[in-house]
Amino acid sequence: MKLKEIAAIVGCPFSGDGELEISGVKSAETASSADITFILGTKYKHYLDTSSAAAFIIPESFPETDRNVIRSANTYHTFARVLELYYQPPFPRGPFVHSSAVIAGNVVMGQNCYIGAHVVIDDDVQLGDNVTILPNTTIYPGVCIGDDVLIHANCVIREYCQIGHRVILQSGAVIGGDGFGFAKTNTGEYYKILQAGRVIIGDDVEIQANACIDRGTLDATIIRQGTKIDNLVQVAHGCQVGENCVFAAQVGLAGSTTVGDNVVLAGQVGVAGHCIIGDNVIATAQTGIPNSVEKDKIVSGTPAIDNKAWLRVSVALTKLPQLLNRVRELENAIDKMKEKQE
Q: Which of 146, 108, 115, 116 is CA-nearest to residue 128?
A: 146
Q: Tell me, what DSSP letter sits at residue 4? A: H
Q: Do domains 3-86 and 96-307 have the same CATH topology?
A: no
> Burial letters for 105-131: b for 16+ Cβ neighbours within 10 Å, e otherwise?
eebebbeebbbbeebbbbeebbbbebb
User: What is the per-residue pLDDT across 234-290, written as a single tens digit (0 to 9) for each?
Assistant: 999 999 999 999 999 999 999 999 999 999 999 999 999 999 999 999 999 999 999
Weakly modelled stretches of the chain, pLDDT under 70: none
Q: What percent of the chain has pLDDT over 90?
A: 94
pLDDT given for residue 340 in this prediction: 80
Architecture category of domain 96-307 in CATH: 3 Solenoid (2.160)
Catalytic residue among 46, 98, 118, 237: 237
d(CA 61, CA 79): 16
Q: Which of 61, 68, 65 is CA-nearest to residue 14?
A: 68
Residues 6+ apart with CB under 8 A from 306: 297, 298, 299, 300
pLDDT given for residue 134 in this prediction: 98
Domain 3-86 sits in CATH at 3.40.1390.10
pTM given for the model = 0.90
Residue at 102: amino acid letter: V
β-bridge mates for residue 169, sequence order: 151, 207
pLDDT given for residue 339 in this prediction: 82
Q: Is 98 a catalytic residue?
A: no
Q: Which of 161, 163, 158 is CA-nearest to residue 177?
A: 158
Distance of CA 163 to the CA centre of its chain: 17
d(CA 139, CA 127): 11
Domain ranges of the chain: 3-86, 96-307, 309-341
d(CA 56, CA 70): 6
